[in-house]
Amino acid sequence: ESVAELALAFLLNLARRIPRAQAAMCSLPKGDIGILSALLKQYNLTGFDLEGKTLGIIGTGRIGSTLAKKCIAAFDMKVYGYDPYVSAAEMKSFGVIKVDRLTEMLPKIEFLTVHCPLTEETKGMVGKKELALLKKGVNVVNTARGGIINEKDLYEALTLGHVAGAALDVFEIEPPDPEDPLLKHPNVLATPHYAGTTEESLYRIGIVMVEEVVNFLQGKPVRYPVNPEVLKAK
C-alpha cells in the first residue's frame, strides 16, 4: 500500500510538475506578482491531467495491482500490465489488460511504472531500445529496484526530450553519487529509497515479525523464511 501510494504521488508530481513549480516560486522576486505568468512559461509549468491517460505497469504483484486499482478508481486510467507470472484472467480481475511482450505495451502508454524485483531476468530490461519505443513525452516511475532501468539510457532519453520526466526512489548504486547527472537533471524527481517508510507500514512490519517469532516458537510454519531450503530439509 505505502509503495503504491508513493508511485501515485510520483505520477501526480510528474503530471503537474510540482517540484518545478516550487523552484519557480522560490525564484519569485519580492512583491512582483505580475511575474507569475512569465514563470509559467519560463519553467514550463503547464502540466496535464491524469484523468483518462494510459499507464503501463511492469510487475503486477501486490504493489503493481494496488497502484492499478487506485489509478483506475481515481482517474479512470487505462492500464496495461506486463508480468509473465500473472495470468490475463488475474490481471483482468483488477482492471488491467495483460500484454505478453514488454515491447507490445511500450508504444501505447503515457506513463510507465516499475514494480518487479531485480533479478537476472529483469536487470536492465528497460534500456535504450525500450525507451525509444515509448511515446515522446512519456513519464517514467521506478519504486522497485535500481538496475531494472538503465540509468545512463534514461538520462540520455531525458536530455533528448524523449522522456519528459522521471521519478526515482531507487538507484543502481545506493546511495547514489550526489554529483550523478541524473540526480541533477531538472526533470528528475528523486527520493532516498523510502517508498515503504510510513508509520503504518513500519507498524505492519513489526506485527509480522512478532507473528513469525511466535509461529516458530510454537512449531508452526513461518510465512517468510529467508532460507526456505532449511525447512524443506526437515
Which residues are annotated as catalytic?
145, 174, 193
Q: DSSP assignment, residue 92? A: H
Q: Is 37 helix (H, G, I), strand (E, B) or coil?
A: helix
By the 10 Å C-beta count (0-12 exposed, 13-18 middle, 19+ buried), 131 is classed as buried
Number of residues in the chain: 234
Q: DSSP assignment, residue 141? A: E
Angle at 181 between CA 67 and CA 194, to 5 degrees: 35
Rg of the Cα atoms in the chain:
20
Tell me the β-bridge partners of 57: 81, 113
Tell me the β-bridge partners of 82: 58, 99
